[in-house]
Amino acid sequence: MLYIGVDLGTSSVKLLLMDSDGRIRNIVSREYPISFPHPGWSEQNPEDWYRETLEGIRILTEGFDKTQISGISFGGQMHGLVTLDVEDHVIRPAILWNDSRSVQETAYLNEVIGKEKLSAYTANIAFAGFTAPKILWMRNHEPELFGRIKKIMLPKDYLSYRLTGVFASDYSDASGMLLMDVENKCWSEEMMKICGIERGQLPDLFESYDTIGTVKSDVAREIGLPENVKVIAGAGDNAAAAIGTGTVGEGRCNISLGTSGTIFISSHTFRKDTNNALHAFAHADGHYHLMGCMLSAASCNKWWMEDILDTKEFSKEQEEIFTLGENRVFYLPYLMGERSPHNDPYARGTFIGMTMDTTRKDMTQAVLEGVLYGLRDSLEVARSLGLSIEKTKICGGGAKSLLWKKMAANILNVKVEIAKNEEGPALGGAILAAVGCGEFENVEQAVSKIVKVVETIEPEKELVEKYEKGYQKFRKIYPALRPVFQELAS
């Protein structure tokens, strides 16, 4: 049988075709625009996602026996707010995960409702990127549109709704809305009241590997699929990426260097950081995980290369970087504000330490190192909870850089394991589809068969010591500049 994994990303949708043995048979990507109508705003048209996904499925399955396609599942960008009216029309452009317009609503939730209550209701506190603050923003700033809301859903769930007509979400993705009681895996009555919404406006919840329906007959005909193709709930992109890298079980770790950057630590049991610096979410394997999330990771490198250096030769720019651990230039990777662990929408990208002999190479290196220093901030929180993390998988666009992976091993002081396939959320979606269709008994069995480690990058004692000194300098920069960021924002 064949299974389709759909990775609904911020800049494009990636579709992957996998067979029963876990072999990747085809991959297709389709791009769509993103708009920034105001500073700090980030929006997309959900119809673009759907249109490009359908076209992607057509291209992906060309030349294959479509009767063998058994299931479709998803990994999707998290936290985005998609709203539909009573006629299922999209009310307004989707407000994305990296949108920071809801600063006041986030402050209201954390300071007026209170972080202690939010943590009790949902296991998390409010971040500007989460869905609940966006709902409050709509209520405060677009009351007429807010009054038309019939359905509230996440980006990937809009795709599954268009494919099946079933209004559903999964626990891992819903964990990031600040509307779900994560420990008990149900919607929070208290949070619904705070946001002024009703249970009927929220989808039914499923495990990521549960079947929610089948592709509607008219859609199946349009894209040439059998009508009995199952649609499986899927997962938030980070949980799906963790499945794609085999990060399941107690204390397993995955780092994603995508548009955003995450450090993902799986757990059999529910646990949360008492300071809520890390997110406590459900995992796509049926259990739980802790996660630190940076809003800008590989996107920092993309910005630096394309917008500042005016080049697309990413690899060429890295070829001249030979000396590690001695860079005197530091970079704060906060182009869109920051989530973990600072929770500061006013934080901004910053270079510091330049002198007359600073080179283009030094600043490029600082960008790469700054992203990993930022991820280490979250790793240190996890370590403070008593978690021993000695190795990690890695995925995302940044994981294609050997230099960046070597930096990761030494800045984080962990073994970096490279999986045979680094397709992250798309592969995770395909694996979830296979589990949902009965190809495997559970997620653990699936990843043990499909995900294989082909290389391990070991930390080097001398570089670890050098980067330790660099990190201790880096971690002092944000606290010193925080008042300046707030003043600039005002």
SS3 at position 74: strand
DSSP labels for 415-436?
A: EEEEES---THHHHHHHHHHHH
Nearest in space to 296 (alpha carbons), one of 368, 399, 240: 368
Joined together, the tokens standing for residue 43 give: 């929006």
Q: Is 153 annotated as a binding residue?
A: no
Q: What is the pLDDT of residue 260?
A: 87
Q: Determine the average pLDDT of the residues in 60-84.
A: 97
Owner of token pair 């990937």: 156
Query: What pLDDT is recorded for position 326?
Result: 96
Distance of alpha carbon 162 from alpha carbon 157, whole angstroms: 8
Question: Is pLDDT at 12 greater than 90 in this prediction?
Answer: yes
- What local confidence, expressed as pLDDT, does residue 424 receive? 84
Give me the pLDDT at residue 404, please.
97
Q: Is 37 a residue whose pLDDT tops 80?
A: yes
> What is the tens place of the pLDDT at every residue in 112-169?
999 999 999 999 999 988 999 999 999 999 999 999 999 999 999 999 999 999 999 9
- Residues 176-234 have pLDDT tens digits of 999 999 999 999 999 999 999 999 999 999 999 999 999 999 999 999 999 899 999 99
DSSP 370-418: HHHHHHHHHHHHHHHTT----EEEEESGGGG-HHHHHHHHHHHTSEEEE
The DSSP code sequence of 239-275 is: HHHHHHTT--STT-EEEEESSSEEEEEEESS----TT
Q: Please state which of the ranges 6-15, 82-91, 274-283 shows the lowest mean pLDDT.
A: 274-283
Instruction: Report d(CA 368, CA 364) in Å as an integer.
Output: 7
pLDDT in tens, 271-299: 888 888 899 999 999 999 999 989 899 99
Question: What gap in Å lies between CA 24 and CA 260, rounded to an integer?
Answer: 25
Write the CA distances from 302 to 78, 114, 138, 317, 397, integer angstroms. 21, 37, 31, 12, 10
185 Cβ contact partners less than 8 Å away, ≥ 6 residues apart:
171, 205, 282
In this prediction, residue 73 carries a pLDDT of 98
The tokens for 448 are: 């043990």
pLDDT band at 397 (very low <50, low <70, confident <90, very high): confident
Q: Establish whether 79 is an annotated binding residue.
A: yes
Return the number of other C-beta atoms located less than 10 Å from residue 194's C-beta: 21
Q: How many residues does the chain have?
A: 490
User: Does residue 40 carry a pLDDT above 90?
Assistant: no
Tell me which DSSP letter residue 458 carries: P
Those residues whose C-beta lies under 8 Å from the C-beta of residue 65, and which sit 6 or more positions away, are 2
- The DSSP output letter for 128 is T
What pLDDT does 421 receive?
A: 83
Q: Which helix (DSSP H) or strand (DSSP E) does residue 476 occupy?
A: helix 461-489
Backbone region of residue 276 per phi and psi (left: phi > 0; alpha: psi in -120 to 50; beta: other values) = left
124 within 8 A of 280, measured Cβ to Cβ: yes
Please say if 21 is a catalytic residue: no
> Could you write out the DSSP letters of every residue in 324-340?
-S----EEE--BTBB-T
CA-to-CA distance for 479 and 212, rounded, in angstroms? 46
Q: Comparing 370 with 275, which gets the higher pLDDT?
A: 370
Q: Region 392-410: what's the mean pLDDT?
A: 94
On the question of pLDDT at 422 being above 80, the answer is: no
Query: Which domains, from first to last, does the chain contain?
Result: 2-238 (3.30.420.40)
Q: Residues of the chain with pLDDT > 70: what percent?
A: 100
Tell me what the mean pLDDT of segment 346-351 comes to.
96
Between CA 169 and CA 182 the distance in angstroms is 14
**Options 7, 157, 210, 237, the catalytic residue:** 237
Closest CA to 209 of 445, 1, 8, 14: 445
CA 394 to CA 407: how far, in whole Å? 12
CB-based contacts of 484-489 (< 8 A; 24+ apart in sequence): 485/344, 485/346, 485/347, 485/348, 486/346, 488/346, 488/348, 489/346
To the nearest whole number, what is the mean pLDDT of the chain?
95
pLDDT of residue 104: 95
pLDDT of residue 2: 98
Q: Residues 17-45: what's their mean pLDDT? A: 96
pLDDT of residue 489: 86
Output the six-digit token pair for 405.
Answer: 């992976």
The pLDDT assigned to 183 comes to 97
